[in-house]
Structure 1
Amino acid sequence: MMIRQFLLWTQHESAGRRAEAASSLARAYLYARLDPEARWEAKTAITALLDDPSPLVRRALAEACANAPEAPRPVVVALAQDVPEIAALVLARSPVLSDADLVDCAAIGEETGRAAIAARPSLSPMVCGALAEIAGPASLGRLAANPGAAITPGSLLRMVERHGDDGALREALLARPDLPLEVRQAVAASLARSLSDFVIACGWLPPERGERVAREARDRTTLGLAEGAAREDLRRLVTYLRRNGQLTAGLILRAMLSRRMAFTEAALADLSGLPVERVSGLLHESHGQGFAALYRRAGLPGPLEPAFAAAMSAWREEASGFTEESGPALSRRMIERAVTACERLPFAESHALVALLNRFDAEAAREEARLLARTIASEAAVAAVLDSIPAALIESYGQDRLRIAA
């Protein structure tokens, strides 16, 4: 009798009253202990209410069914394809919807629905992959910020590829604690590209110089991110760089001149197809013949080989007193040896390389100056503090220390 009364209410001319009746009927179906006949009648009536012309009624159904695992599947699927404001209610929460339903709704729905899907408490790699391919930057930002989203590295890279110029998305990606190294590098490269485009558009730099500045900034950031990374992370990073045309001879030379041997070994192993252990052994050979064979196998430009060989020779000489934890600065001594090796080459072959090495040297000199300036400033600050302490207090402190020692 109660169900029939609800059915009469759903025929009321007022959309508000029909919405109240729809909500009550749906909750009765979901939570009341109905006999089989009444339950069937309620389900049939709820399904019929999907045709109600008022969005108030359908919204009431969506609100009632959004969190319910027992909600009728045909009703939830239909609501998920309703107008965006109604569809978002079930897309964001309903446990009835399968991965196939979510992918379909993301593909044919509005951006509001995609944003709702992106914020679901739990998302499979398949749904995340679909969103990575079609969602806009705002929805992808919500996806990246969702700790329950199982996003594969490939999907993360696709997000950066499509909308890496969006600052909010970059911030959301970098905030993920499990972000793979290659994705961090992709985000950094995207930022460098955006900054380059901006300064070129403003006319502050000509296009050629802006692109070079962005490329060298990207290379510096790449080596900074790679510092201290595990071998497997480095392997994935250099594979990603090679596939995207970023594993250049200039980057490898910078790594070598910065004494980032772990990255250098991973890069040469990827290019040559040799195991990292074998590459490491060839790099450490004192006579250098192994390095020459490795260089040619890696397919690096022939005119650059003397610079690489000279840098490696200098590295072997100073390797005993240096560890990668000593810092990422370029070695001016290694750069000088590389420049000297290039002086014997024809100008047509060496001028671009020498110009690159000179920029490296200028960068290294500026870094040395910064470190020295910080050291001097720190020492001056300590001296100023000591000068401000009364001499009697210092003398008293020293006498107290002597009494304690005695």
Structure 2
Amino acid sequence: MATTRAALTNDDIRMLVKGATPDERALAAHRLCRKIDRAELSEEERLQAQEILRVMAADAAELVRRALAVTLKTSPLLPPDVANRLARDVESVSLPVISFSPVFTDHDLAEIIRLGGPVRQMAVARRPKLSSKVTGLLVDQAPEDVVAAVCANDNARFSDLALQKALDRFAKSESVLQAVAYRAVLPLSVTERLIDMVGDQLREHILDNHALSAERALEIIVGAKERATIDLVDQAGRTADPKAFVTHLNRVGRLTPSLLLRALAHGHMTFVEWGLAELAGVPHHRTWLMVHDAGTLGLKAVYERAGLPSRLFPAFRAGVDAYHGMEFDGRPGERERFQEHMLQRFLTSSQAVSREESDYLLDKLDRLAGFKARAAG
């Protein structure tokens, strides 16, 4: 090994083997590791260099073994048997290698996870690259903080099953739920489950950054915003300034076609009139005439001017017609009865209501039925 010995120097090797103090041997180990990592070695020289590294890994001084671990933690030249020996060493030696060494196989990492304890598991969780096999093991076996760390590692690959298991094990853990929510990519099944487990801030992040089915997205958006706005519409019906209310909603981007359609299905016609007037830029009295036009042209004209989607117009038409066919009867509970009848008429009259809208309206009918049952009780 003349070439390698010349590159490494005989003095360095002699100091490594015979150095009087750990400090001297650690300095020699550092120099040797740097030179081994940078040298162009033949196969024979590489094998001999590995033997030198094994001598370092067996040194009684922690300082020497740490010099080896830190200097070659990212090197592909570290022999796998040496890497695994260092991984079982004290933490000051093992953690640099576990955290970064590219020579570990999935089987090696699985053994570290199984036997190494939480500190070493955390080092595995934060590695620059992890397979789905390794992340699955961490999710199965590691404590909460380790699972949160691996879920936050976007260079770690996950199976759908492993992410679901993380949600199963740590359904109440804010750190795990947040780590999953902030992953760059999530499977649809995980996103749609996670959305029901988190608070408003994380829910907004998920809606903005992850894919959801159209049905689920609509349900969530309406649940978080438009259903709350419908409650405001109920209050607005008792105020004297619906114009200001719809102007505010339009300014903040919440005067949506879906909101107007659902308000119509609830029988909030005054709100719908003012909403159409706001979007169309038409005075309310003219909007009222067009909405309640006995013919077929008025509603269509103001609807189109408001820029609402043509696919929803048949539903709006059916809703207005249903409204005109209903009357308040003045008896106790008339508001709930009117809404129930309105929703039933709307659902049965309109062929244009989407599945998402139908599900929402049916849910509202269920709630009204619950109200009636409580009132009767």
Band the TM-score falls in, shorter-chain normalisation:
0.5 to 0.7
1:3-402 residue pairs with structure 2 within 5 A? Answer: 3-10=9-16, 11-33=18-40, 39-187=46-194, 190=197, 228-229=215-216, 316-320=347-351, 322-323=353-354, 334-335=365-366, 339=369, 354=370
Q: Normalising by the residue count of structure 1, what TM-score does the alignment of the two structures yield?
A: 0.50
Q: How has the CA–CA distance of structure 1 residues 77 and 335 changed in structure 2, closer, same or farther, with 3 Å as cutoff?
A: closer
Superposed CA RMSD: 3.5
Matched-pair contact (CA < 8 Å) for 1:314–1:334: no
User: Offset of 1:187 from its aligned partner?
Assistant: 3.8
How far apart, CA to CA, are the structure 2 residues paired with 1:8 and 1:98?
A: 33
What letter is aligned with 1:149? A
| CA distances 1:179-206 after superposition (whole Å, capped 9, x unpaired) | 23432454455559xxxxxxxxxxxxxx
- Deviation sequence 1:94-120 (CA, Å, 0-9, x none): 111111111111111122221221122
Say which is worse superposed, 67-76 or 126-135, in terms of deviation.
67-76
8 Å contact kept, 1:25–1:42: no
Summarize deviations over 1:71-108 as a string: whole Å, max 9, x none: 22221121122223322212222111111111111111
User: C-alpha distance in 2, partners of 1:311/1:180?
Assistant: 39
Displacement of 1:47 in angstroms is 0.1
Judging changes above 3 Å, is the alpha-carbon distance between structure 1 residues 92 and 315 closer, same or farther for their aligned structure 2 residues? farther
- Write the letter of the residue equivalent to 2:215: G
Per-residue deviation, residues 343-382 of structure 1 (Å, max 9, x unmatched): xxxxxxxxxxx579759xxxxxxxxxxxxxxxxxxxxxxx
Contact 1:65/1:76 (8 A) holds in 2: no
- Aligned residue for 1:69, secondary structure, equals coil
Q: 1:37 to 1:5 in 2, by over 3 A?
A: farther
State percent identity of aligned pairs.
25
Which TM-score applies when normalising by structure 2?
A: 0.53
* Structure 1: runs of 5 or more not aligned: 193-224, 231-257, 259-309, 340-353, 360-406
User: Residues 268-311 of structure 1: CA distance to partner in whole angstroms, max 9, x if unpaired?
Assistant: xxxxxxxxxxxxxxxxxxxxxxxxxxxxxxxxxxxxxxxxxx99
Closer, same or farther in 2 for the Cα pair 1:332/1:46, shift >3 Å?
Answer: closer
Give the Å deviation of 1:121.
2.1
Instruction: Give the aligned residue type for 1:52.
Output: D
- Counterpart Cα distance in 2 of 1:128 and 1:169: 14
Per-residue deviation at 1:43? 2.3
Residue in 2 aligned with 1:247?
none
Contact 1:69 1:94 in 2 (8 A): yes
Report how many residues are paired: 234
User: Given that residues 192 and 216 in structure 2 are in contact (C-alpha distance below 8 angstroms), is that contact kept between their aligned partners in structure 1?
Assistant: no
Closer/same/farther in 2, CA of residues 32 and 180 from structure 1, 3 Å limit: closer
Q: Does the 8 A contact of 2:347 with 2:353 survive in 1?
A: no
Q: Which has the larger radius of gyration?
A: 2
- Extract unaligned runs of 5+ from structure 2: 200-211, 218-261, 263-340
2:102 alignment partner AA:
P
Name the residue aligned to 1:202.
none
Cα drift, residue 167 of structure 1: 1.1
Contact 2:347 2:358 in 1 (8 A): no
Q: 1:311 to 1:96 in 2, by over 3 A?
A: farther
